[in-house]
């Protein structure tokens, strides 16, 4: 029987990665226990052993791009752990109102100062639009403008922002289009920041679950929410948007997507980054939309997320010294792993970014949008 070291070395060789090699993507092992840990724990062991300093790679993003392109994550998995994760997701709703608060507490409430150093001034924590932009700030502003134009915003519009984050889109739409925006979010830190920066604009931020949204709106927008709500809630979320939208309204859904359908997420991401998060597939979203809303426009620009994540990573590293006293070295390695592995996922086209424009009954005369 081959040793654990031989099995891992051979697998990495299939992806063009050499253990102890000289290329920036090559694996440098600091603890020989790594090989047994990877065979026993799969992706969870890979991430935790990196956090523990058992291995390094000069260019972690290039390492993961090779891994993803070679689909090594499908060669080996800890089947028992994945089976129970699958069963749990099938039998339970892992994104109930009470469970959904975990991601706010674990991730979004790390502190506004931390995210201010990593993100752009608008605090947009979703894919930027790099079609014409030369900086992260401009790319995020261009993303907001793209959404506004797709929604055909008017000053008289009442807009609902489901999962409004730090309020970047709501503030932009109110400032540049004069419309009234109501945002819902469960993160106390984000809501506090959003309210402080909305000034005298016609914007209202409500600290509540998106399922508690009520009222009547001309336009509805959801940016980065569906990644957190789980497959059991896609249909209800789409139905909610439809119920809250006027008959001639529009709904823009902006979400990361994955190539294949799943009911669970990578165990390392689940444990350390986004508890309860599951990325939707095309068929899962389409199934939720079917017979409920009309697809007027679809736009995919996943490669822009690679550049966005690499910009966040550069900012994170540049400002790390400001946060050393609050977070330890293990946290630093965890965030490098998170940002760079996700960037590689988009670069390898395993992850995607989708925008859907949806209407209730179909736009009379047809929907028109020119980029």
DSSP β-ladder status, 55-56 and 28-29: antiparallel
Q: Three-state SS across the chain?
A: CCCHHHHHHHHHHHCCCCECCCCCCCEEECCCCHHHHHHHHHHHHHHHHHHCCCEECCCHHHHHHHHHHCCHHHCCCCHHHHHHHHHHHHHCCCCCHHHHHHHHHHCHHHCHHHHHHHCCCCCCCCCCCCCCCCCHHHHHHHHHHHHHHHHCCCCCCEEEEECCCCCHHHHHHHHHHCCEEEEEECCHHHHHHHHHHHCCCCEEEEECCHHHCCCCEEEEEEECCHHHHCHHHHHHHHHHHHHHEEEEEEEEEEEEEECCCCCCCCHHHHHHCCCCCCCCEHHHHHHHHCCCCEEEEEEECCHHHHHHHHHHHHHHHHCHHHHCCCCCHHHHHHHHHHHHHHHHHHHCCCEEEEEEEEECCCCCCCCCCCC
**Which residues belong to the active site?**
342
- Inter-residue contact 356 to 289 (CB < 8 Å): yes
- If we measure between CA atoms, which residue out of 247, 248, 242, 216 comes closest to residue 152? 248
- Inter-residue contact 34 to 55 (CB < 8 Å): yes
| Rounded-to-integer distance, Cα 76 and Cα 82, Å | 11
| Rounded-to-integer distance, Cα 296 and Cα 254, Å | 14
| Rounded-to-integer distance, Cα 300 and Cα 269, Å | 23
Measured between its terminal Cα atoms, the distance across the chain in Å is 58
């Amino acid at each position: 029987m081959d040793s654990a070291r031989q099995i891992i070395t051979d697998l990495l060789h299939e992806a063009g990665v050499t253990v102890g090699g000289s290329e920036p993507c090559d694996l440098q092992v600091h603890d020989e226990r790594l090989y047994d840990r990877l065979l026993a724990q799969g992706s969870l062991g890979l991430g935790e052993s990196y956090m523990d300093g058992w291995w390094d790679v000069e260019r972690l993003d290039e390492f993961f791009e090779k891994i993803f392109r070679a689909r090594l994550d499908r060669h080996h998995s800890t089947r028992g752990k994945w089976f129970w994760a699958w069963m749990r997701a099938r039998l339970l709703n892992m994104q109930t109102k009470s469970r959904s608060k975990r991601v706010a507490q674990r991730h979004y409430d790390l502190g506004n100062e931390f995210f201010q150093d990593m993100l752009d001034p608008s605090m947009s924590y979703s894919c930027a639009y790099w079609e014409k932009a030369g900086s992260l700030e401009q790319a995020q502003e261009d993303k907001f403008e793209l959404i506004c134009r797709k929604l055909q915003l008017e000053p008289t519009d009442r807009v609902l922002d489901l999962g409004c984050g730090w309020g970047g889109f709501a503030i932009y739409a109110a400032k540049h289009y004069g419309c009234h925006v109501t945002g819902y979010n469960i993160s106390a830190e984000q809501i506090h920041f959003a309210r402080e920066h909305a000034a005298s604009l016609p914007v209202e931020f409500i600290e509540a679950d998106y399922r508690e949204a009520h009222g009547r709106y001309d336009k509805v927008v959801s940016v980065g929410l569906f990644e957190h709500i789980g497959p059991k809630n896609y249909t209800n979320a789409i139905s909610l948007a439809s119920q809250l939208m006027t008959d001639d309204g529009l709904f823009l859904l902006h979400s990361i997507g994955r190539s294949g359908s799943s009911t669970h997420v990578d165990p390392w991401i689940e444990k350390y980054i986004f508890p309860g998060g599951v990325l939707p597939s095309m068929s899962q979203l389409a199934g939720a939309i079917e017979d409920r809303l009309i697809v007027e426009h679809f736009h995919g620009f996943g490669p822009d997320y690679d550049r966005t994540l690499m910009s966040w990573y550069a900012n994170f590293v540049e400002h790390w010294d400001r946060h050393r006293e609050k977070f330890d070295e293990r946290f630093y390695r965890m965030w490098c792993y998170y940002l760079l592995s996700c960037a590689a996922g988009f670069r390898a086209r395993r992850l995607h970014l989708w925008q859907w424009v949806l209407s209730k009954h179909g736009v009379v005369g047809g929907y028109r949008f020119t980029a």
